[in-house]
A = this chain, B = another copy of it.
Amino acid sequence: MRLAVIPGDGIGPEVVAEGLKVLRAVAPDVETTPYDLGASRWQRTGELLPEPVLDELRGHDAILLGAIGDPSVPPGILERGLLLRLRFELDHHVNLRPARLFDGVASPLADPGRIDMLCVREGTEGPYVGNGGVLRRDTPQEVATEVSLNTAFGVERVVRYAFERALARPRRHLTLIHKTNVLTHAGSLWSRTVEEVSAEFPEVAVAYQHVDAASMFFVTDPGRFDVLVTDNLFGDIVTDLAAAVTGGIGLAASGNLDASGTNPSMFEPVHGSAPDIAGTGVADPTATVLSVALLLDHLGRGDHARKVDAAVAFDLSTRDPRAPVRTAEVGDRLAALAGG
């Protein structure tokens, strides 16, 4: 297994080190190549994602990314120039984000119930395409636009992926989240696609929620969701909500998948670079470790993935919630549990 590693900024390198520790405990055959990308490279050289680096990344089986971002960089530079560029160049059309409330983890909800959902967020279209502009900047007549682009090709492949995942789960339930009553053009494409693809998956029950109503249900009744499918922007919001009600982004894993297998998929914790705690050894690496489990599963090593998941589940159920997190200790424990 040839793995490209982008530790990135802030706590990124710290959590990635623990992720690799756990990965090596279950898969000693992994070969890693580190790539220096992120805020500090941009500060030093002005480079975000040089073409030769992108080509090298393409030669790997998968990518593990820590976190990108630093307050010294203006908003949009690293996001558009590096993070989103990776997702778009590598055709990461499935942004996969499981959200499960593990035993022993406190939810901010008074009565969370059982939460175990899988968010399938589109990753290469929608309002994230960067299509838009500014006219008459800095005048009272300024106009700024953002265009959401949605294609049958792009919507169909992510919807089909979501149905496949739903079919493989016990509840076999899929919810489309959109805003079809206002965004009637894109909404119609998404609804029609779900309806069409559903004919091939008669075992999967289908529901629809407007994004505003769905957001409320994340707070009042998250247990109703099994698999979700939604566009890039709505997915950004609802996956953070799903993370919030299952214990926070300290535990939220994600995979950016090219489900066709043409390009390497990329796995990253949902949290950011947390510059305020960088270097202090208190970042929780659990989200990175869970991202490693997604990586293993994606590369056909389901057995290894389940070992890592089980290690996390056991560790969370036995952690003292008041004890401070020590990044390396958590990694050591999880590696021992997963490899043992």
Number of interface residues, chain A, beta carbon within 8 A: 66
What 8 additional pairs, Cβ within 8 angstroms, besides A108-B111, A108-B220, A141-B153?
A75-B180, A75-B181, A109-B109, A127-B148, A128-B182, A140-B156, A145-B150, A146-B147
Chain B residue, CB-CB nearest to A107: B110
Asked if A138 lies at the interface with its beta carbon under 8 angstroms from chain B, I say yes
Asked if A240 lies at the interface with its beta carbon under 8 angstroms from chain B, I say yes
User: Would B216 and A138 count as touching, CB distance under 8 A?
Assistant: no
Spot the interface stretch: A13-21, A29-37, A183-191: A183-191
Chain B residue, CB-CB nearest to A128: B182
When chains A and B are docked, how far (Å) is the Cα of A136 from the Cα of B151? 10
Shortest Cβ gap from A131 to chain B (Å): 9
Chain B contacts for A148, CB-based, 8 A: 127, 132, 145-148
Asked if A179 lies at the interface with its beta carbon under 8 angstroms from chain B, I say yes
Chain B contacts for A134, CB-based, 8 A: 185, 188-189
The answer to whether A76 and B145 touch (CB under 8 A), given A219-B244, A244-B216, is: no
Partner of A153, one of B140, B239, B249: B140
Partner of A189, one of B79, B142, B185, B236: B142
Chain B contacts for A75, CB-based, 8 A: 180-181, 184, 187
Chain B contacts for A216, CB-based, 8 A: 240-241, 243-244, 248-249
